[in-house]
Chain A
């Protein structure tokens, strides 16, 4: 079985964010990690590899430094890494990103594609389902359990108040929730091997059946009109030196003042 896992290098949102003058994100200026949902997807793929035997290829699109997440994935147990990077791909929205990744995946064989549900920078959850549409594959989003039964994948798909057990014929695409599992650590031997491993690097010319008009910032239907740091609601009062009785009467007074009680 051949499994492709799509991962994204994302800025760690705890460290604050920076913008380029054109309103797009300045990813180079932020600390970078493997997106958590993608890491869960990778772990799911590695577990399928452990159980059924599989070749796991990790694909990422990004700046040249995104190679780091491929090496991390290989140190965890992935077999191959493909980096899709090219200046003309920059500033892509989810349509242009999914078009690009689909163009890369048309070059390789797969039975199952796993992506994370969403990335912590954009929080859109759109790229996985959009890739599946471009490749004309069945899609199952929000997976909290993934099993293989012959030519089929059987997935628990989470909804608000229920889950569906879904069965799809492979090839298909599944998007993983971070609740799916606890990703393994890199092994020392794995880190050593991953450091030396060959990473395949693809650019624009390597994308198959993709029109230039659908790539990068220019090929993105959505355009940023304005981006800014969020204006936070102003702080109210904080009482630091009240004992429990004082704190209770303070809260009671405010609840009365606001006619809550």
Chain B
């Protein structure tokens, strides 16, 4: 079958506990741009049990169509029934592009689906655009137009590669959360809703969920914070994070941290910024006692303003900070908090 028969930009609209994840809206925002360039439309794939009511929300964020697969087998994420549903949609509707969030769910689902439908998959993309492959004409090789060009960091953020999938369809990518922009929701927007069920026949691949253990969280999502006060190994102890918390409280910020801090057990994993943590782009990022290894920088260098405080003037964080101060964080941070108290009401 010809590649040109594949049409439309599809996104996997991840939901957990029947609540859509932020990545679903981010993917729709990007899909809308890609669809415009390709003169096609955007379809959300909504999988779950009792999830049909979420279709309107997807429409408000840019979905022209919503394919709903509603089945008790899809209540909680499991690889096999989800992979079966998405692969079946691809085989039935033949999209040219399929985007999946690079979440703990999407990075399991994406590879399973891509192997099943025998196409390429590019992981953890940070830029997606439509263009030519090869980028420049090469004698003796056909230059294909309207290709999905997928850009991603590799080697722990040391390099960046742009990848295409010129000879297979769909072109599939997982997309890093927190990078693509969602659109302002269009109140009252409606999508064409298509109900689809490929049938589910449990076998050994339908792994049994014995128990679901939710890790209770009282913290706000650091990906939504406008100001992050982030601490690294240099903070020295769990207790000493209090001075960061005090600073965050006075300036309306949220505390986050580097991987070393999580490894030391000072802060929970959900507050970790970086390659193996979360990608953040707040208005202001205070990097306090953070050396700024490339893996950390990969998760925060898109921040609007980076303020670094570190006693080591050779720390790599100073190479990406807008404003850097070499000094003792134990002296500077409490004083800064006091000064801010005077001006912030």
Of A79-87, A135-143, A202-210, the one touching chain B: A135-143
Q: Which of B272-311 contact A (CB under 8 A)?
A: 275, 283-284, 294, 297, 301, 305-309
Contact of B114 (CB < 8 Å), options: A130, A167, A230, A261: A130
Known contacts A17-B155, A240-B326: A133-B208 contact under CB 8 Å: no
A254 interface hit (Cβ, 8 Å): yes
Structural contact, B210 and A165, CB atoms closer than 8 A: yes
Contact of B324 (CB < 8 Å), options: A137, A166, A233, A236: A236
A200 interface hit (Cβ, 8 Å): no
Q: How many residues of A contact B (CB 8 A)?
A: 81
Bound together, the chains give a CA A252 to CA B340 distance in angstroms of 8
Structural contact, A237 and B327, CB atoms closer than 8 A: no
Structural contact, A247 and B270, CB atoms closer than 8 A: no
Structural contact, A13 and B211, CB atoms closer than 8 A: no
Q: How many residues of B contact A (CB 8 A)?
A: 91
Known contacts A129-B111, A133-B111, A224-B163: A248-B335 contact under CB 8 Å: yes
In the bound complex, residues from chain B placing their C-beta under 8 Å from that of A231 are: 160
A199 interface hit (Cβ, 8 Å): no
Nearest B-chain residue to A250, judged by Cβ = B325
Q: How far is the CB of B162 from chain A (nearest CB, A)?
A: 4
A108 interface hit (Cβ, 8 Å): no
In the bound complex, residues from chain B placing their C-beta under 8 Å from that of A224 are: 161-163
Q: Which of A206-261 contact B (CB under 8 A)?
A: 220-233, 235-245, 247-252, 254-255, 258, 260-261
Contact of A17 (CB < 8 Å), options: B159, B305, B332: B159
In the bound complex, residues from chain B placing their C-beta under 8 Å from that of A154 are: 210
Q: How far is the CB of A162 from chain B (nearest CB, A)?
A: 4
Structural contact, A121 and B161, CB atoms closer than 8 A: no
Structural contact, A230 and B159, CB atoms closer than 8 A: yes
A191 interface hit (Cβ, 8 Å): no
Nearest A-chain residue to B226, judged by Cβ = A260
B178 interface hit (Cβ, 8 Å): no
A187 interface hit (Cβ, 8 Å): no
Structural contact, B135 and A226, CB atoms closer than 8 A: yes
Q: Which of B117-172 contact A (CB under 8 A)?
A: 118-124, 133-135, 149, 153-168
B343 interface hit (Cβ, 8 Å): yes
A107 interface hit (Cβ, 8 Å): no
Contact of A237 (CB < 8 Å), options: B16, B313, B324: B324
Structural contact, B163 and A235, CB atoms closer than 8 A: no
Of the candidates A123, A139, A220, A261, the one having the most CB atoms from chain B within 10 angstroms of its own CB is A123
Nearest B-chain residue to A134, judged by Cβ = B115
Bound together, the chains give a CA A250 to CA B114 distance in angstroms of 52
Structural contact, A94 and B76, CB atoms closer than 8 A: no
Contact of A236 (CB < 8 Å), options: B104, B134, B217, B322: B322
B4 interface hit (Cβ, 8 Å): no
Nearest A-chain residue to B262, judged by Cβ = A179
In the bound complex, residues from chain B placing their C-beta under 8 Å from that of A138 are: 79-80, 204-207
A160 interface hit (Cβ, 8 Å): yes
In the bound complex, residues from chain A placing their C-beta under 8 Å from that of B319 are: 232, 235
A158 interface hit (Cβ, 8 Å): yes
In the bound complex, residues from chain A placing their C-beta under 8 Å from that of B133 are: 223, 225
Bound together, the chains give a CA A137 to CA B248 distance in angstroms of 48
- Give 6 closest A-B pairs by Cβ, nearest first: A221-B120, A133-B115, A236-B322, A124-B123, A222-B120, A238-B324
Instruction: Offer 24 A-B interface pairs, CB within 8 angstroms, sorted by A.
Output: A93-B120, A94-B111, A123-B124, A124-B124, A125-B108, A125-B111, A134-B115, A138-B80, A140-B79, A162-B214, A165-B209, A169-B204, A223-B165, A224-B162, A238-B324, A239-B325, A239-B326, A247-B309, A250-B325, A251-B307, A252-B343, A254-B322, A254-B323, A255-B307
